[in-house]
Structure 1
Amino acid sequence: MTIASLASETPRHETPRHTPRPLVLGSTSRYRRELLARLQIPFDVAAPDVDETPAPNESPRALAERLALAKARAVARQFPGAVVIGSDQVADLHGEPLGKPGNHERAVRQLQQMRGQTVVFQTAVAVVCQESGFEQADLAAVRVTFRDLTDDEINNYLLAEQPYDCAGSAKSEGLGIALLSSIESDDPTALVGLPLIRTCAMIRAAGIELLAPTGAGA
């Protein structure tokens, strides 16, 4: 497994926070990478080798929770001394899981299914450190109600945004916000892909201090 350092986010020679253990994001998602960078602590990224096929009769919530933990554990085996974050998101339409569409045609079908409906985006996060034996997981459920979209609105949105790597085809941090009539969540970044309130709580519990004095004030 290749691990890529995000030197452009927080250079290792200018570490602004004291981190007893290295932090690794077990995901190649650019959305999760951008969200985690908001915490202003150095971290690395590694791709988890996990089969994401749903189990028979597995609920969207159970699928998201299982995959988040599986991703964190897979990367933690490669980097046993690190604190590893794994996350997964599944769009839940009345119990039916909707993943990343991958192409325009599947995205059209997803949005046609979701128009006028309330969809629960199940966003799970897990934090694992193999060396210390630390393991926690949590889930943020985001209730999203879609407008009664026309076929033209769906097609125009997809051509403009091309959100084919987003669960449920709804890129809410971009033009996708125009698809929606309401969002209900207690963890605002969960819909984008990583619930930072829950993530902060878990990495603090794993021993990484987020609000330690900076080098300038120490």
Structure 2
Amino acid sequence: MSPDRREPLDREQIVRAAVGLVDRDGLEKFTMRGLGRELGVEAMALYHYFPSNDALVDAIVQTVVAEMRRPPAVPDWQERLRAEFLAYRQVAHAHPNVFPLLGRRPVKNPEALRPVEHMLDILRGAGFSPKQSLSAFRTLSSYAFGYALSEIRGFALEPARDGSDDRFDVRTVDVERFPRMREVAPHVTACDHDAEFTSGLNAILAGLRAELKPPADVTESLRQDVA
């Protein structure tokens, strides 16, 4: 599109167009000049809304984080957290070129922090202490981010998706030297990532549930019953 736009711009239009460009072409090809062409304006016009390329990239990240849908509330805290992190992974699938930035860019918009606040609130409501809630959130978010990022980039043992020879292929290793790796090879190439991600998430949630101590009054009541 040539720089001949007549309608006025606003920040939301610019960010949405920027998200679309990064989704399509990748961050390494993203420039203010290219965004200006997409919007039909000179690149300098964009600096009226964003002082730098970095400021716009921060806005891209915050916009994508804010897209994470809020699952319906259910009584069980494990079900709620499971739904939250499944939604988080969907953001990675929807924006694979933006998602890696979530681990590298600071979140500066308070609205983009709402998912974090919501998950911490679920953990506190389940009975975890503030310290336990932070640890649990970090464990869950690190797993979800790492798994989703591996899906985008390709898991270490998976062959290249485009058929190139620049990735290690577990199916070709020497069976005498690496018998266990050859043993799992059929499962590497036929993996159900949805099921695998959910299984790992369930394992973490089960571990957290085991660490959750009952309230003091319940513990005392149990002691009295035993006595």
TM-score (norm 1): 0.29
TM-score (norm 2): 0.28
* Greater relative contact order structure (CA < 8 Å, 6+ sep): 1
CA radius of gyration, larger in: 2
Q: If each structure's strand is expressed as a fraction of its own residues, which one has the higher value?
A: 1
